Structure 1
Amino acid sequence: MMQQEIKNDLILRTLRGEAVERTPVWMMRQAGRYLPEYIRLRERYSFFERCQNPELACEITLQPVDIVGVDAAILFSDILVVPQAMGMEVQLVEKLGPFLPQPVKAEEDLQRISVPDVNDKLSYVFEAIRLIKKELNGRVPLIGFAGAPWTLLCYMVQGKGSKTFDEAKAFCYQQPATAHALLQMITDTTIAYLKGQVAAGADVLQLFDSWGGLLGKNDFEVFSLRYIRQIVEALKTEVPVIVFAKGAWGSLAEMAQTGAAGLGIDWCIEPQTARNIAGKYVTLQGNFDPAKLLGPVPQIEKETKEMLRAFGKDRHIANLGHGILPNVPVDHARAFVDTVKAYRFSNS
């Protein structure tokens, strides 16, 4: 597919390490639950109907670009479409989260799942991307994404959301060979899936390791990073890849060495500390605490500027340190975005 020219390419230039006139901004989970326009669609269609209908996914993806004015669109989908494509039943229960009724518990359970033909099982995602690119018409880049293998294993073994994923961790420690077989299957599926997203038109990819921070540094290397490395290696020459492993900032230096163009960080690490660990050749993304968007607008503006100053000019994409909360008022989200867009670093 021929790449069309992108009018606002701030994020792409920042990921390449080029000097930019201002810091670009987008928000994780920007397409969704805090927007009244999205809530109206949620009342009419189930979650997977919204994901699997390319027209709906396109409409939802474009909403924050039109309403909040962010510098990138991110595909509206879910990380659990991958386990679903691999043959697992995945239910998404509103307000309760994901439920996988037949989790992987032992080696024989791997026979129930497989590395799928992504062009068959996930064609609806690629169709949505093609539609979004057409509708965006080069206004801003489109970010595609997938869940990192460790995070997907957490759901596939635990069978539901958890704060600790102790069953998933126990599975890795008690049945390491089976865990690694599963992680490799997820990795192979994810590489094919992300290559399909790029072929359909995604300009940037983000890998979400939402539960990376549950592992100590050595275990993060063994059960997460070695698989993230394979994915980045397979895709980094095609488009810039951002790795966001929430809470795993002890491994930022190792993540920077994967060849990822960007690293997402949460609010529990200071920008200067992250820069010192990650080095100067990678773009940092983050790290505003989404709960702060519930504070008064003048406070949001003040703290956003403090964040920008702390990261400094260039090699920074302003974002939240995790997904936007559903009860954030739209004008508060807009205040965050507008403050970033208006901010200029003085030449002094």
Structure 2
Amino acid sequence: MTVEVSLQPWRAFKPDGVILFSDILTPLAGMNIPFDILTGKGPVIDNPIRTLEQVKQITKLQAEESCPFVGESLRILRQEVGNQSTVLGFVGAPFTLATYVIEGGSSKSFAHTKRMAFAQPEVLHALLDKLADNVADYVRYQADAGAQARPRSTHA
């Protein structure tokens, strides 16, 4: 389904790029951060990360094991479009991912994230360090699978 949804705009309009249809939270499960997507609510992280002990429980992402479908989708997209278009991977920026895991889902006020930034900056820094390392690994994984560029998601 990921491949089909990614290819629909390309087939219809032949843009310069085909972007992988993927959720920014996809790699979280592979970092020992389980989440669910609830109808009408969106992503929910049952155990938001708010302590250094929780940050230490985040594991190194092994994308080829935890989300092999991403690599397979990129390989198929690369084959489908050949040299007619650029294949774009997709990753969430570390800070974007951090807000989800700190807040326990999406947020309008980011109260927990702001509180952590001022009251526990060492926890936020440790979390961002781990997420940045894992996001970098995820970018490399996508590039190895055929992505030629990776737009990143950021908060507006």
TM-score (normalizing by structure 1):
0.43
Indicate if the aligned counterparts of 2:50 and 2:123 stay in contact, CA closer than 8 A: no
Partner of 2:57: 112
How many angstroms does 1:136 deviate by?
Answer: 1.6
Partner of 1:70: 15
Partner of 1:198: 143
Question: Cα–Cα, structure 1 residues 95 and 113, in superposed 2: closer, same or farther, change >3 Å?
Answer: same
- Residue 131 (structure 1) aligned to one of 60, 67, 76: 76
Indicate if the aligned counterparts of 1:118 and 1:189 stay in contact, CA closer than 8 A: no
Q: Hey, what's the Cα distance between the residues in 2 that align with 1:182 and 1:100?
A: 15
How many angstroms does 1:68 deviate by?
Answer: 4.0
Partner of 1:152: 97
Indicate if the aligned counterparts of 1:57 and 1:77 stay in contact, CA closer than 8 A: yes
Structure index of larger Rg: 1
- Residue 183 (1) aligns with residue 98 (2): no
Q: Hey, what's the Cα distance between the residues in 2 that align with 1:95 and 1:69?
A: 33
Partner of 1:58: 3
Letter in 1 for 2:87: L
Residue ranges of structure 2 left out of the alignment (5+ in a row): none
Letter in 2 for 1:114: T
Indicate if the aligned counterparts of 1:61 and 1:76 stay in contact, CA closer than 8 A: yes
Query: How many matched pairs?
Result: 156
How many angstroms does 1:119 deviate by?
Answer: 2.2
How many angstroms does 1:70 deviate by?
Answer: 2.8
Partner of 1:19: none
- What is the aligned-residue RMSD (CA, Å)? 1.4
Identity of aligned residues (%): 30
Q: Hey, what's the Cα distance between the residues in 2 that align with 1:96 and 1:68?
A: 32
Partner SS, residue 73 of structure 1: strand
TM-score (normalizing by structure 2):
0.93
Q: RCO higher in 1 or 2 (8 Å CA, sep ≥ 6)? A: 2
Q: Hey, what's the Cα distance between the residues in 2 that align with 1:68 and 1:154?
A: 35
Partner of 2:118: 173
Residue ranges of structure 1 left out of the alignment (5+ in a row): 1-55, 211-245, 247-348
Letter in 1 for 2:46: P
Partner of 1:87: 32
Q: Hey, what's the Cα distance between the residues in 1 that align with 2:135 and 2:105?
A: 20
Question: Cα–Cα, structure 1 residues 67 and 95, in superposed 2: closer, same or farther, change >3 Å?
Answer: farther
Partner SS, residue 98 of structure 1: strand
How many angstroms does 1:141 deviate by?
Answer: 0.7
Indicate if the aligned counterparts of 1:103 and 1:159 stay in contact, CA closer than 8 A: yes
Partner SS, residue 204 of structure 1: coil
Deviation per CA, 1:52-89: give whole Å up to 9, x if none.
xxxx2111110111234432110011110122221111
Q: Hey, what's the Cα distance between the residues in 1 that align with 2:19 and 2:96?
A: 19
